[in-house]
Structure 1
C-alpha cells in the first residue's frame, strides 16, 4: 500500500524506469439500477518484483495526483492489463487523467475472428496451464473503505501482477504488439467561447 508522500515518490520512480507495468483499478460496486460509480477507489500497478496499490478517495492529495499523472499519461512504461477501457474512462472522469500507452490484453490476445475478449483467468490457463483463483466475493467488496483487508490487498496486487506476467510470456513467445489505439474518452463540453 502506497500511503505516505515518500512512498508515493518511491513508487513513481520505481514504476517510471520500467518498460512495462501491470495495471488495473478497483471500484466500489454499484448494486442499484441507475447508481453511478464513484470509482476508481484503488489503482494497482506492478513491476516484475513488486505491486503498488494507490487508494483514491473523494479528494486526492496533489502529490498523489501528480505521481499518477506522471505514470499514466506517458506512453512509457506500457500499462498492461485486462479489460482496461472502463478503467481508463473512470480515471478520466474522476481524476482528469488521460492514460497513454495502455495495452488491453483482453483485446491484444484475442484470437482473430473470436468475438469474446480473453480474460485473465483464461490467459493464465492458456499460457501457464494454471487455474487463477479470482474470488467473486472479494471482487465485489467495498473498495472505497479507508483500510482494505489482507484478502483485498492480495486480490488487487495479483490482478496487476498477473497481467504483467502474461504480457512478458506472450512477448517472450515472439509476439509483437499492434499499434496502440487510445481509448476514446468523452469530449469536453463546449463552453461557447471561441
Structure 2
C-alpha cells in the first residue's frame, strides 16, 4: 500500500480553500467609542488572535517604521487598529499587556519587538503557535498555511501581492482588510482546535523590563564611573596584567 502524502505536501491532492472571515465580522477601529467597545469585547475573551502588519521596506538598510496595523480577534469578530497619527494606544496597551488574556498568532517575535519600540507596549502572555505546534523532533517552525492544512484540511490563501501593499495607508481596501483580519482570526481558530485535541500551553516567560532611554550618544559603560565616586587611581604595579 503506498504511503499517504501529507496534506499540503507536493504531490498531495489539491485542498479546498479556507473560507476565511467575512467583511461583516470585521471592525476597523477609527473612533474612541469603537476602541472602547473593542477593548471590552477582547478582554472578555480568555484568548484572542494577534498579528500586525507593517509597510514593506524595499531599500537596503531601510528600517521599518511599523507596525502600521494591529489585528486582534475574538472567536466572532476581528478588530483592526490602524497605527496612524492618533493610535488607540491606551486601549491597545490595556489589551496586549493584560495578564488574563492569551494572545495567539504565528511568527510573533518581530511583532512584539516593533510594538515595544514604536508604542512602548510590552505584550504579555503571548503564545507563538509557530513554535507551540511543533511536534517532538521538529526543528522548523510551523506556519499558518501548514497549520490550516493540518487541522482543517484546507488551503489558506496568502497573497504575496497583498502582503506587500502599503499598510500605512489611512484607508485600507477590502482585500487588505480581509487579509489582515484572517491572519489574526485563523490563529485563534487553530489554537482552539489544538487545545481541543489536547494541546498543552507552555509556561509563559515574564516580560523583560524595558530599557531606559538615555539621550545623546552613549559611551561604552566600561569607560564610565559613577558620578559620586572618584576615579580610581592608576595601579602602576599591575599595568601589565590582564
TM-score band (shorter)?
Answer: over 0.9
Structure 1 runs (4+) deviating above 6 angstroms are: 191-194
Q: Would the alpha carbon gap of residues 193 and 104 (structure 1) be closer, same or farther in structure 2, given more than 3 Å must change?
A: farther
Question: Which residue, 36, 41, 50 being the options, matches 1:23?
Answer: 50
CA distance in 2, matches of 1:50, 1:128: 20
Provide the alpha-carbon RMSD of the alignment.
Answer: 1.8
TM-score normalised by structure 1 residue count: 0.93
Write the distance in 2 (CA, Å) between the matches of 1:143 and 1:104: 23
The superposition leaves residues 2-49 of structure 1 with CA deviations (integer Å, 9 ceiling, x where unpaired) of 111110000001000000000000000011110000000000011000
Q: 2:141 aligns with which of 107, 117, 141?
A: 117
**Where do residues 14-93 of structure 1 align in structure 2 (5 Å cutoff)?**
14-57=41-84, 59-61=85-87, 64-93=88-117
CA, structure 1 residues 175+3, in 2 after alignment: closer, same or farther (shift >3 Å)? same
Superposed counterparts of 1:71-150, under 5 Å: 71-150=95-174
Q: Which residue of 1 aligns with 2:36?
A: 9
Extract unaligned runs of 5+ from structure 1: none
Q: Which is greater in Rg?
A: 2
Question: Which ranges in structure 2 are unaligned for 5 or more consecutive residues?
Answer: 1-27, 216-225, 229-242
Distance in structure 1 (CA, Å) of the matches to 2:35 and 2:163: 25
> Aligned-pair distance for 1:109?
0.5
User: Over residues 145-170 of structure 1, what are the superposed CA-to-partner deviations in whole Å (9 max), with x where a residue is unaligned?
Assistant: 01010000000000000000000000
